Structure 1
Amino acid sequence: MAETTLFRYRLKPGRIERLREWVEEVDSRRDEAIETLQDESVFSEAAFLNSTEDGDYVMFYMEAEDLETAHDVFESSQHDLDLEFKQLLGDIVAEDQPEQSIEPLYHLANPDRP
């Protein structure tokens, strides 16, 4: 059964445009992005932008065969796209992150999905 998670990071002020540029970059390198997911045994990944009174946040949803393995493979990845993503996070993610606990409640998947 797949495991899921959601990461939420507060952005540094004024970094939304840089994030949007990255989204366009990933979209233009879709084949490479899919290859990184395959290496990590990730089934799906999505990013969301959330703007609140206390700042802008980027959230990443991930569904993987094994989240710990996916994380380990990502951390040691030499894919250009993964290396660039790590640099992006350093550039856009604020150092002061609010305390948070994102507890998964349920995850349903249609077994007939393509």
Structure 2
Amino acid sequence: MVDVVLTKQRIESGATERLEAWAREIRDRESEAVETLRNEGMYSETAFVEHADGGDYLVYYMKAEDIDAVYEAYEESSHDIDEEHERVLSEVLETGENVGEYDPLYHLENPDR
């Protein structure tokens, strides 16, 4: 069975623009970013910014066969883009702690896509 994960992390006040600039760079370096997904065993990753009354949050949707293996591969990665990603997140996130708590109800995919 595939792992589907949703996380939410608080963005430092005033750091959302920096995070958005990094997201644009990731899109510009798509082939490099996709290569890291392959190396991690990640099927898909989507990042969102949630704008809430209490501040902004980085929200991630991730899908992989084994999310623990993905986290391990990311930690061991020597790809420049992964190292830069880690640095940027440490600059823009308050703590990096997951502040969301989500219980998956279901996950469907169209097998004909």
One-letter amino acid matched to 2:29: R
Instruction: State the 1:65 CA deviation.
Output: 1.1
Partner of 1:17: 17
Between the two proteins, the alignment pairs up a number of residues equal to: 113
Contact 2:9–2:99 under 8 Å retained in 1: no
Instruction: State the 1:99 CA deviation.
Output: 4.9
* Distance in 1, Cα, partners of 2:2 & 2:13: 35
The SS at the match of 1:14 is coil
Q: 1:54/1:101 Cα in 2 relative to 1: closer, same or farther (>3 Å)?
A: same
Among all aligned residue pairs of Structure 1 and Structure 2, give the percentage whose two residues are the same amino acid.
39
Deviations 1:62-107 (A, max 9, x none): 0001101011000110111111111111101013968542222211
* Distance in 2, Cα, partners of 1:9 & 1:51: 12
Q: 1:54/1:68 Cα in 2 relative to 1: closer, same or farther (>3 Å)?
A: same
Partner of 1:87: 87
Contact 2:9–2:100 under 8 Å retained in 1: no
Superposition RMSD in Å: 1.6
Q: Does 1:112 align with 2:78?
A: no
Q: 1:100/1:20 Cα in 2 relative to 1: closer, same or farther (>3 Å)?
A: closer
Partner of 1:74: 74
One-letter amino acid matched to 1:112: D
Return the TM-score normalized by structure 2.
0.93
Moved over 4 A (4+): 96-99
Structure 2: gaps spanning 5 or more residues: none
Partner of 1:45: 45
